[in-house]
Structure 1
Amino acid sequence: MDKEQIVEQLRGGYELYNRGTGWWLNAPKRASGAADAVKVDDDLMNALELDGTLRIIMLTRSMRAELPQ
């Protein structure tokens, strides 16, 4: 997975979360409640934050990444 794929997925409704086990790109939830998730490399996430592609938000027990507004 590369930068362009991640940005495209986020624009399509996917979400990036880190709940202590690394970064996961989660597909939008389906009616069944199940969602597919893909592991995203930590080094790639660090690079995307450093170049301003993503903004990391610290939550109480997890982190979330989103595209800047």
Structure 2
Amino acid sequence: SNPTTKAECTPEAVFKHVGENAIFASGSPFGDVSLGNDKTGYANQANNMYLFPGIGVGALLSGARHI
């Protein structure tokens, strides 16, 4: 969400609840998260313009009923 202060989810929350295997991308810039044990949770930035075509094709190919 923009501005960053209005974000519904933060990388810290994602990595806390999902763990180190989480993939995080936001429309707002965030810093990476230290996970301890010399591991880093990377906070990536993405735009829905790039995500929706892939989600749509994936849903069609997989036969998903709910997204």
- Larger radius of gyration between Structure 1 and Structure 2: 2
Band of TM-score, shorter chain: 0.3 to 0.5
Greater strand percent: which structure? Answer: 1
What's the TM-score once normalised by structure 1's chain length?
0.32
Structure with the larger RCO, 1 or 2 (CA within 8 Å, 6+ apart):
1
Greater helix percent: which structure? Answer: 2
What's the TM-score once normalised by structure 2's chain length?
0.32
